Amino acid sequence: MTDAPPPFELLPGAGQSPVILHVPHAAREIPRTVRAGIALGDEELARELDHITDAHTDRIADVAAGRAAVTPWRFVNRLSRLVVDPERFPDEREEMLAVGMGAVYTRTTHGAALRSGGVDAGPLVERYFLPYARAMTEAVADRLAVTGRAVIIDVHSYPSRRLPYELHGEGPRPAVCLGTDSFHTPPELAAAAREAFGETELDTPFSGTYVPLEFYGKRPEVSALMVEIRRDTYMTEPGGPAGPGLERLGGALARLVDAVSR
């Protein structure tokens, strides 16, 4: 673990591409200053990272970018979501606060203490969450300015078996869950994903998708879809190596990119 790893990276795509592949949860990196505030021992932390990290999703996005006819842009978080989770609301709107998983987590996937219950989330939000949000907002604004629209495809993965932190995990766990938003996910975007990936379900076990707050509920030219890939389809759970499914899924994601880039 280093003192100051790069917190995120925007990887340029084709100038005419409206697509941003957003990869928020693929990293395990935790700066030393943040690690000091985590209550878990090293072995416990490694196990928690195995469960909470969307392992290899950055590689799936890499494969897709390499195969797409029009190269998408990629916005990749280089820090673990245990530093901050850039996809949470930073305030009381966040329903995951109920299980200690707001923008700054205080509980693990299994309900154990991750940080002190009295932790002040403010400095972590200021140092990591807000710059990330600003940079993603700028990336979307740039695509809007250049192409007239932006398509955010949120690349995630999820475990084949429900973990205790899941608030809505009682439903089906398809090979690919497509998270949608009533304002930002047009039917044709979800249909293109169904065509590209095959076995999919909408909004089970996870729903919603990420749109920067500046555009959320305001700009229909910003469309978005969350792609949640069940981990046993491409890797050994939890936290193990990727298998041949990774290339297949990268190809499917490339087909989705091509379908929405036209």
Residue 204: other Cβ atoms inside 10 A = 17
Q: What is the pLDDT of residues 153-199, one digit of tens each?
A: 999 999 999 999 998 888 899 999 999 999 999 999 999 999 999 99
Hunting for tokens 């878990």 — which residue is that? 40
Q: What is the pLDDT of residues 193-243, one digit of tens each?
A: 999 999 999 999 999 999 999 999 999 999 999 999 999 999 999 999 999
**First and final CA of the chain: distance in angstroms?**
42
pLDDT reported for residue 1: 42
pLDDT reported for residue 89: 86
Query: Which of 3-12, 63-72, 98-107, 191-200 shows the lowest per-residue confidence on average (mean pLDDT)?
Result: 3-12
Q: Is the pLDDT of residue 15 over 80?
A: yes
Q: Is the pLDDT of residue 11 over 90?
A: yes
Q: Is the pLDDT of residue 3 over 70?
A: no
200 CB-contact burial (10 Å; exposed 0-12 / middle 13-18 / buried 19+): middle
Domain ranges of the chain: 8-261
pLDDT reported for residue 97: 84
CA pair distance 141, 180, nearest whole angstrom:
21
Question: Which pair of structure tokens corresponds to residue 100?
Answer: 């200690």
pLDDT reported for residue 95: 87
pLDDT reported for residue 24: 98
44 CB-contact burial (10 Å; exposed 0-12 / middle 13-18 / buried 19+): middle
Element (H, E) at 76: strand 73-77
pTM score of the predicted model: 0.95
CATH of domain 8-261: 3.40.630.40
User: Quick one: average pLDDT of 34-62?
Assistant: 97
pLDDT reported for residue 90: 82
Q: Report how far apart, in Å, the C-alpha atoms of 105 and of each of 54, 149, 154, 210 are.
A: 16, 33, 20, 18
Q: Is the peptide bond before 164 cis (omega within 30 degrees of 0)?
A: no
CA pair distance 209, 224, nearest whole angstrom:
6
Query: Which of 118-122, 126-130, 179-183, 207-211 shows the lowest per-residue confidence on average (mean pLDDT)?
Result: 118-122
pLDDT reported for residue 4: 61
pLDDT reported for residue 31: 95
Q: Is the pLDDT of residue 2 over 60?
A: no
Q: Is the pLDDT of residue 6 over 90?
A: no
- Return the beta strands (E) in 119-230 as ranges: 150-158, 176-179, 200-202, 222-230
User: Quick one: average pLDDT of 95-110?
Assistant: 91
pLDDT reported for residue 81: 97
Q: Report how far apart, in Å, the C-alpha atoms of 206 and of each of 101, 165, 172, 177, 188 are.
A: 15, 12, 10, 7, 20
CA pair distance 96, 183, nearest whole angstrom:
21
In percent, how much of the chain has pLDDT > 90? 87
152: closest CA among 40, 17, 50, 55? Answer: 17
Give Cα 71 to chain centroid, integer Å.
19
pLDDT reported for residue 98: 87
pLDDT level of residue 92 (50, 70, 90 thresholds): confident
